[in-house]
Each structure stands twice: as structure tokens, then as C-alpha cells.
Amino acid sequence: MYKLTSALFVAMLGIGITQASAANRRFVLVNKSNRTIVQVQASNIGERYFDPVDLLSDEVVRPGEAIVVEPENPEGWCRFDLRITFRNGDEQEVGDVNMCAITALTTYGADGDNGAFVRVRY
């Protein structure tokens, strides 16, 4: 009986750790482009429309700056598509971001740069 109880306790502890880590959906947004980031939006994976809520709130991220992005509700689903909008209207989208595991998202590129890209670090 002791072994079963210990195994159950360890399993429950593992579930608790998973849920606790899932509640942490904050990450650092690093702007290594030459454009100011004015908005970050999220959507469920594969949806056609992004939530109008701006994850930056009233903040902007100027070239060379970084900011911690943390959704108002830190609990819930983990996987999202993200859209980053720049002051000049350019957008970068990155799909299937695990916001429960991400540590940083970095943007690169310049105005009109077709080689612009986003790197996600877990």
C-alpha cells in the first residue's frame, strides 16, 4: 500500500508542477529590428482572426529595447499564434507559440525587409 500511495503522491506532484508552469505565460519580447513594435496580438492556433487585445497594453518596444510581455490572465491555454505589428504597419506572424514554455521572442529585420524574421527561444 505504501508504494501505491507514494506513486500516487509523486504523480499528483508532477501534475501540480505542470499546472504551475502552465500558469506562467510571460516572456521577454526583444526588438532587434529597426522598427518600433506597437502591438502584439494572439489567436488560437489556426484561427483567421487575432484577438483585438494588445498584449503590450499601452507600451511600445523601440529598436534595441526589450519588454516583459505578460497576458492579463496568466492561466489558460498555452499554444497561440502571435502577430507583431510595427509602427509603419508591417506585421510579423509566428505560429504555434507555446506561451507556457517560451522565454523570449526576438524580432529581426528592417523597413521593407522581406528577410525579416522572428526567433522564439524556449
Q: Kindly state whether residue 18 falls inside one of the protein's structural domains.
A: no
CATH number of the domain encompassing residue 81:
2.60.40
Q: Kindly state whether residue 20 falls inside one of the protein's structural domains.
A: no
Q: Kindly state whether residue 71 falls inside one of the protein's structural domains.
A: yes
Q: Kindly state whether residue 15 falls inside one of the protein's structural domains.
A: no
Q: Kindly state whether residue 86 falls inside one of the protein's structural domains.
A: yes
> How many folded domains does the chain comprise?
1
* Residue numbers of the domain that contains 50: 25-121
Q: Kindly state whether residue 61 falls inside one of the protein's structural domains.
A: yes
Q: Kindly state whether residue 13 falls inside one of the protein's structural domains.
A: no
pLDDT in tens, the chain (122 residues): 444 433 433 444 444 433 444 457 889 999 999 999 999 999 989 888 999 999 999 999 999 999 999 877 666 789 999 999 999 999 999 999 998 999 999 999 877 666 678 888 88
Measure CA of the first residue to CA of the last residue in the chain; give whole Å.
40
* Separation CA 17–CA 109 (nearest Å): 37
Within a 10 A sphere around the Cβ of 85, how many other Cβ atoms? 19
Q: Kindly state whether residue 63 falls inside one of the protein's structural domains.
A: yes
